[in-house]
Amino acid sequence: MMDIQLIKECEAKAQTWLDSSVYDAETKSEIAAMLKNEDKSALVDAFYQNHEFGTGGLRGIMGAGTNRMNKYIVGMATQGFANYILKAFPVPSKGGVNGNGAGERPLSVVVGHDCRNNGRLFAETVANIFSANGIKVYLFESLRPTPEVSFAIRQLGAKAGVNVTASHNPKEYNGYKAYWEDGAQVIAPHDTGIIEEVNKVQIEDVKFEGNPDLIEIIGGEMDFDYMTAVKEAMIDQDVILRQKDLNIVYSAMHGTGRVIVPLCLRSWGFQNIHVVPEQMVVDGNFPTVVSPNPENAEAMTLGMKLGTKLNADLVVATDPDADRLAIVCRDNKGEWTIINGNQTCMMFCYYIIKNKIALGQLKPSDFLVKTIVTTEVITKMAQKNNIELRDCYTGFKWIAREIAISEGKQKYIGGGEESFGFLPFDKVRDKDAPASICLICEIAAWARDNGMTLYDLLMQIYLEYGFSYEHTINVVKPGKSGADEIKAMMENYRTNPITEIAGSKVILAKDFKTLKACDGEGKLSDLDMPATSNVLQYFCEDGTKVSVRPSGTEPKIKFYLEIKDTMGCANCYASCVEKAKAKVEAIKASMRIS
């Protein structure tokens, strides 16, 4: 039974939108329909809370309401962001745009968007508001990949940026990623500072009328500069030239990679590139997939079908904003197998280490980065080869932070996370699918040059460093009741500490909210991390690792499982996987995950 008081509160909030002169007729019509409907669930979901501007920006279902993505919520977020930028970069009171003195560059931002419905509308809304506040805007002429937006911020010397995207979420979603002058998504102190400014903004404060003189359209020249920079991720062009006929199938999944990825691949030297025509069509409704998420096998079906027809060596894809990638290769039976995010990250790190050593490119100051929920196999690789590996929180802004704090002192050579994201060079400060796809094709070329497939290479990694099976469980809890339930789950785990998982003793538990670790004997120690995060992590005697993390952008709680085993030969892989799957079920029962 829905709370009567909550319904009344939501009706009152909805009525203020109807009574205001700010909102357009289409918005008011949608709200009026919700108010008239006897079923108040849609009304409550749209108005029960204000759509919060979080540390990464905004992401949510599109529609009218305070808890929805629409041009008014985007407008208030942008006005707050503009207010913060003007405070963070104070300028003289006389002369030039924004009061800058003669000859000084005005404060500027970069604005981009992907293929999603309302993407252009939201991006132009953002550009208009920044320009109305005296801030110069570099607005991409049309959809562009997330990593190119990050690159452009750095290339143009902008102070900040916005990319309108909901990444891999279903078609009903859109989002707003906020970037700082280093090209990375904002972190402390700017994240909380922006949030404070956004929370002060009322709809009447938003300057929607833009200044066209302060909006500059960018496109082709930036594409060229970005593609030139991507080539810095290349390790061995000779192997590409020897295997330039590698048979590659690519899908843009209706998004921003459709032009740039094939061009980047050709610039690297690959000549046998095919595309999935149905998925090269820009469409925010994603008609060929249930969800445009590289983590979902279903999204790769058309690519594999074309790959079979063309006898391709591998199938690669990017998500709508081209920050994540997916890889499909042939197994030892010649059948298509999807390489998961952890395996993808393992392959990148293995190849970067091995071939930089072989070519004399590896330096003592080089370092890799992974997130805390990404496979520990990479830790073994780094230890064996005396490479510095840093662990950071989930989210590429934390990998970007590691690059930034070592800039000019140490060289970043790669970093990634389990959710199909990798960055193989340092000119971009977000995950970069175009660059990563080029590098995975180089890795496939190197493997073929050595009589292997990508699958053979994966087996070689397991034989060298031990088998590891990773599995992520997403428990979706929508709406207010779901948010309350997720909060209660995390409180329960902290109130009743877990001492064993599926029969194996917990020998180390980490709480990144308190920044404390507890060993199996109850001894506490401090965690050396730059901030707190609502994550719990457990390490067991048998090598099992379990991480628990509520999503910061979606109504779900995630469980990341890592299960260890030995693998004496490549033919043992299937049996190791089966044993690991049984262990997953035991872990789910032990932790009451459903």
- Among all residues, which ones are annotated catalytic? 167
- The count of C-alpha atoms lying within 13 angstroms of the C-alpha of 164, restricted to the half-sphere facing its C-beta, is 32
Neighbours of 36 (CB within 10 A): 8
**CA distances from residue 524 to 140, 228, 517, 520, 531 in whole angstroms, order as listed:** 51, 49, 6, 10, 18
Tell me the DSSP string of 280-312: SS--TT-TT-SS--TTSGGGGHHHHHHHHHHT-
User: Using alpha carbons only, how large is the chain's radius of gyration in Å?
Assistant: 24
Q: Which two tokens stand for residue 396?
A: 């590429």
Distance CA 151, CA 423 (A): 12
| DSSP-H helix ranges across 375-422 | 377-384, 396-405
Give the Cα separation of 271 and 280 in Å (integer): 19
Separation CA 181–CA 409 (nearest Å): 20
539 phi/psi in degrees, rounded to 5: -115, 130
Q: Among 173, 155, 432, 440, which Cα is nearest to 321's?
A: 432
Give the three-class secondary structure for 151.
helix
DSSP letters of 167-190? TTS-TTEEEEEEEETTSSBP-TTH
Determine the Cα–Cα distance for residues 347 and 317; give it in Å rounded to an integer.
Answer: 17
**Peptide bond before 189: cis, by omega within 30 degrees of 0?**
yes
C-beta atoms surrounding 12 within 10 Å: 10
Nearest Cα neighbor of 438 from 188, 174, 229 is 229
Q: 69: which 2 tokens?
A: 């993505």
CB half-sphere exposure, 520, CA atoms < 13 A: 9
H/E segment holding residue 11 = helix 4-19
Residues 6+ apart with CB under 8 A from 167: 59, 146, 175, 319, 320, 321, 323, 324
Dihedral sign (CA 96, 98, 101, 107): negative
8-state DSSP, 54: B
Q: Is 269 exposed, middle or buried (0-12, 13-18, 19+ CB in 10 A)?
A: buried
DSSP 8-state assignment for residue 105: P
Distance separating alpha carbons of residues 192 and 180, to the nearest angstrom: 13
Residue 16's CB is within 10 A of a number of other CB atoms, namely 13
User: Half-sphere exposure of residue 17, counting CA atoms within 13 Å on the CB side?
Assistant: 27
Cα–Cα distance for residue pair 431/257, rounded to 1 Å = 13
